Amino acid sequence: MQKEITKWPSSNYEIQLTVTSIELEKAKTQAIKQFQKDMELPWFRKGFVPINVVEKNINPEYLQMGIYEEIVNTWIQETLKENQQIKFIWEPYDFNQKKEDSNTIITLKLDAYPEVQITDSNRKDSPIDNIDIQVSQEEIDNAISSIQKNYADYQDVNTISLDTVSKIFVEYLDKDSNILDKSNIYIWEQEFAENKFFPDNFIDKSKDQDFSISYDIKTIPTLLINAKTDLDIKQIKFTIKDIKKIVLPELTTTTIEKLFGKESEVKTYEQLLEYIKKEITKQKYDNTLMQNIDKFLQTIQSKYMNVFIPQTLINEEFKVRLKSFEDRFGWEEKLNQYYTQIWEEKKNEMLQEIKKSSKISLEKFFILQKITEELWIEVDRQNSKNLEVEKQIYQKLSVKEQSSTKIEKTTKQNKEETNKEKKEPKTTKSKTTK
């Protein structure tokens, strides 16, 4: 059996296998024995059907598949042992075969994990931007407001205002005012802020009041678009079922104790403000760190490094992202409903965008991995902390860190020169007396 491996520039290898008629016959015998293990026929015990009888009762197409599977699996195992320096991905594809005299030529492709190519080793002009976090009073106020809303009280009122939450009964009507579909929605701060349709149509409306508008998907908010596209909806009727005013609690020492518990270090309003500022700083730091690392990797990829991601990895990442997208909708049926609401062209664009994102994400991953190797950063993948790699890279490559290193080197140099001068005696010219 002759094997030939050809490396392609796209992180994959083409494998050519020349199989003689004798080797093909041996593979056929092995394939039939595999079928023999599971074959059950009258008058024979399972696994004991004679070989010649097994062959007669196998679908020829299945037998052919079994033969090539036997050959390819055996060969791939040998190839992996002979080429342990190549990190193959175990998913062969593009199978082809042809007859050449008495031999059979089988070709297939096998992807390998990509290797990052360094196109320019001089990366000193590409440091990571510094992170300088400032927390504004507005951010602190918003955080306080968010905490208060989580523990807000709700009081019955009769009129909708910006500080209320309302339950609205929605009926979808045809041209004759027959009900085609119905549902309940809730309107409060988020809806009022995101689309002026809600304050324009609902502010000052009273409990039990009803009103109708024309159903036009070009002008109504997404929240009101009915998922059943086969309905001939002409109007939407709204009935105000319930209105409650949001009453925010005062953050006293007692309230804070309820929020954080008696054992917490946060006990006073001042301590709460300090805790919030600390948490916002951490969150902003992490977000900025990710943005700066992302910008840095884009620069590295465009100027100094290159990596080609094989289709096998892209397809796997695409499946994971598509599954995540499906989970966001709750289940596959809801995702399909969403697809029916958008044009086929828009759907294809979305899927292509997910695939593109998969490729970009993988490129960044392998380049990031290469950077960590160059910087001698060791990370325990099993027990690594959040953003541990990114933080270590930033510490080594940020402008601020590099400047500090330069200052340290300059200071050290100056000290060495000063010490040298102290050790060396100064020479003076002697005056000659006439």
Domain-by-domain residue ranges, the chain? 2-113, 153-247
Asked if 180 and 174 count as a contact pair (C-beta separation under 8 A), the reply is: yes
pLDDT, position 407 = 35
Q: Cβ contacts of residue 199 below 8 Å, gap of 6+?
A: 162, 192
CATH architecture of 153-247: Roll (3.10)
How far is the C-alpha of 231 from the C-alpha of 422, rounded, in Å? 94
pLDDT, position 158 = 95
CATH superfamily of 2-113: Trigger factor ribosome-binding domain (3.30.70.1050)
SS3 at position 203: coil
How far is the C-alpha of 91 from the C-alpha of 111, rounded, in Å? 7
Asked if 138 and 123 count as a contact pair (C-beta separation under 8 A), the reply is: no
How far is the C-alpha of 203 from the C-alpha of 196, rounded, in Å? 11
Strand order through the sheet with 93-100 = 2-8, 12-19, 103-111, 93-100
Paired strand residues for 106: 17, 97
Q: Encoding tokens for residue 179?
A: 């009900």
Q: Which of 323, 322, 315, 330 is nearest to 354 (CA)?
A: 322
How far is the C-alpha of 154 from the C-alpha of 248, rounded, in Å? 9
Asked if 86 and 112 count as a contact pair (C-beta separation under 8 A), the reply is: yes
**Phi, psi for residue 160 in degrees, rounded to 5:** -75, 130
**Phi, psi for residue 168 in degrees, rounded to 5:** -120, 130
Q: Which of 77, 82, 75 is nearest to 104 (CA)?
A: 75
Helices 388-397/344-374 angle, 10° precision = 60
Asked if 393 and 300 count as a contact pair (C-beta separation under 8 A), the reply is: no
Q: Encoding tokens for residue 333?
A: 């049926």
Going residue by residue through the chain (434 aa), what tens digit of pLDDT does each one get? 688 888 887 678 888 888 888 888 888 888 888 888 888 888 888 888 888 888 888 888 888 888 888 888 887 788 778 888 888 887 788 888 888 888 888 888 888 888 888 888 777 667 888 898 999 999 999 999 888 888 888 999 999 999 999 999 999 999 999 999 999 999 999 999 999 999 999 999 999 999 999 999 889 999 999 988 889 999 999 999 999 999 988 888 888 888 888 888 899 999 999 999 999 999 999 999 999 999 999 889 888 998 999 888 998 998 888 888 777 666 556 656 655 555 566 777 878 888 899 999 999 999 998 998 888 887 776 666 778 889 999 988 886 555 544 434 444 444 455 455 444 444 333 333 33
Query: How many residues does the structure list for the chain?
Result: 434
Number of helices followed by number of strands (H, E) in the chain: 13, 11
DSSP string, 303-352: HTEE----HHHHHHHHHHHHHHHHHHTSSHHHHHHHHHHS-HHHHHHHHH
**Which residue type sits at 7?**
K
**Which residue type sits at 364?**
K
pLDDT, position 422 = 45
**Phi, psi for residue 33 in degrees, rounded to 5:** -65, -35
How far is the C-alpha of 65 from the C-alpha of 97, rounded, in Å? 12
**Which residue type sits at 172?**
Y
First to last CA, the chain: 105
Alpha carbons within 13 A on the beta-carbon side of 294: 9
DSSP alpha helices (H): ranges in 8-59? 21-38, 51-56
Q: How far is CA 348 from CA 325, 326, 341, 355, 374, in A?
A: 15, 16, 13, 11, 39
How far is the C-alpha of 317 from the C-alpha of 299, rounded, in Å? 23
**Which residue type sits at 144?**
I
pLDDT, position 433 = 35
How far is the C-alpha of 383 from the C-alpha of 9, rounded, in Å? 35
Q: Encoding tokens for residue 169?
A: 């009964």
Neighbours of 426 (CB within 10 A): 5
